[in-house]
Structure 1
Amino acid sequence: MAGPRRGDARGPCPIGRAIDVLGDRWTLLVLRNATIGMSRFDEFKADLGIADNILSDRLRKLVEHGLLTKRPYRDESGGRTRNEYRLTEAGAAILPVLHAMYDWGATHTGPAESTAPMQVVHRTCGEPVEPGGDCPRCGVHVTREEEAWVRPWRSPEAIPLAPAV
């Protein structure tokens, strides 16, 4: 009898289970955007340039696996009910993975055009956070609640991380 397939969400390997949930193209970028407070389908679509059917599938899968939760709201016209997608505790717990990808990407890749780099900053003092999460100015470990991201190609403003619901 053959063992579970690689990437099986119920298999014995935790890396395989994580890849089954997180390994689809766009999934980590959807989680990145939810981490900085993006919550509406149209926001994800506009920022990522992703096809509706792919985005719908990724959001459905993230809700199904408990990383996002859906909350209904009425659109601006007051007519149609839509859903917002908010991070759960499990979704918020992806932050160390995003940090690792940030560190790796900053070290081993570069943008096609010269641009100021993304920064993870301490909201209290604005100082860039060191790998591992410490603030060199304050000498404290920066928690999720104290962290913000600066994406200068989008805006010079620091974006606080979204809380888990």
Structure 2
Amino acid sequence: MATDRRVRNGVPCPIGRAIDAVGERWALLILRNATLGMTRFEDFRSDLGIADNILSTRLARLVDLGLLTRVPYRDGGRTRNEYRLTAAGADLLPVLHALAAWGHEHTTPDEPAEPMRVVHRTCGHATTPGGHCDHCGQPVRREEEAWIRPWRSPEPIPLAAPVTG
């Protein structure tokens, strides 16, 4: 865990500690995009419409907290960093599922849109997040899950695997 003074490691309430870690504006949206395989600064910036300085700060904080890790890559003659989910970042998947369900139930988009769906890639059918597939009854592991966000694309997007090691 980071030593940042804003993270209150000593607070007994796990909800309070979690909010200290991921409750900043943009953090969960960055983690959502990383869950869907986004890794590059430019892509996060473009998709979220976030200012460079704020994105840099949020990415650095998520790295410090161990939710993302930096992975260097070459872009022409320059070395840059990709930002990939760690196991701790990937473990936020149920939180993202819960936020999606809550948002669908209690908020309304500006323009009508079909809800986000979770797809069991093994059988290809939509299912309820977590647990077992509603269609085939098999467990739905992370690597077998995809999301359809119809306002973006009708195609299922597989979830990114966390970086190991």
Residue 55 of structure 1 is matched in structure 2 by 55
- C-alpha distance in 1, partners of 2:63/2:10? 17
Q: Is the 8 A contact 1:103 1:131 kept in 2?
A: no
Report the Cα distance in structure 2 between the residues aligned to 1:10 and 1:30, rounded to whole angstroms. Answer: 26
Q: Provide the C-alpha distance between the structure 1 equivalents of 2:155 and 2:77, rounded to a whole number of angstroms.
A: 33
Using structure 2 for the length normalisation, give the TM-score.
0.90
Query: Structure 2: how far apart are the matches of 1:125 and 1:59?
Result: 35
1:82-130 Cα offsets, whole Å, 9 max, x none, are 1000000000000010011111111111211012221111111221112
Equivalent residues in 2 for 1:31-42, closer than 5 Å: 31-42=31-42
CA–CA separation in structure 2 for the residues paired with 1:141 and 1:109: 30
- Against the structure 1 CA distance between its residues 133 and 110, is the aligned structure 2 distance closer, same or farther, given a 3 Å change threshold? farther
Counterpart position of 2:80: 82
Q: Which residue of 2 aligns with 1:130?
A: 128
Farther off after superposition, 82-91 or 148-157: 148-157
Deviation, structure 1 residue 132: 4.4
Unaligned runs of 5+ in 2: none
Maintained 8 Å contact 1:92/1:164: yes
Output the amino acid matched with 1:23: G
Q: Which residue of 1 aligns with 2:69?
A: 69
Q: CA RMSD in A?
A: 1.7
Q: Given that residues 130 and 140 in structure 2 are in contact (C-alpha distance below 8 angstroms), is that contact kept between their aligned partners in structure 1? A: no
Amino acid at match of 2:154: P
Q: What aligned pairs does 1:91-130 form with structure 2 within 5 A after superposition?
A: 91-130=89-128
SS class of match (1:113):
coil
Residue matched to 1:162: 160
- CA shift, 1:14, in A, is 1.3
Scaled by the length of structure 1, the TM-score of the pair is 0.90
Aligned to 1:83, what secondary structure does the other structure show? strand
| One-letter amino acid matched to 1:16 | G
Correspondence for 1:152 among 147, 150, 153? 150
Aligned pair count reads 159
Amino acid at match of 2:145: E
Closer/same/farther in 2, CA of residues 30 and 52 from structure 1, 3 Å limit: same
| Percent of residue pairs bearing the same amino acid type | 68
Q: In structure 1, how many angstroms separate the alpha carbons of the residues matched to 2:162 and 2:6?
A: 30
Cα distance change of structure 1 residues 7 and 60 upon mapping to structure 2, 3 Å threshold? closer
AA aligned opposite 1:49: G
| Pairwise CA distance, 1:81 | 1.4
* Aligned partners of 1:7 and 1:19 also within 8 Å: no
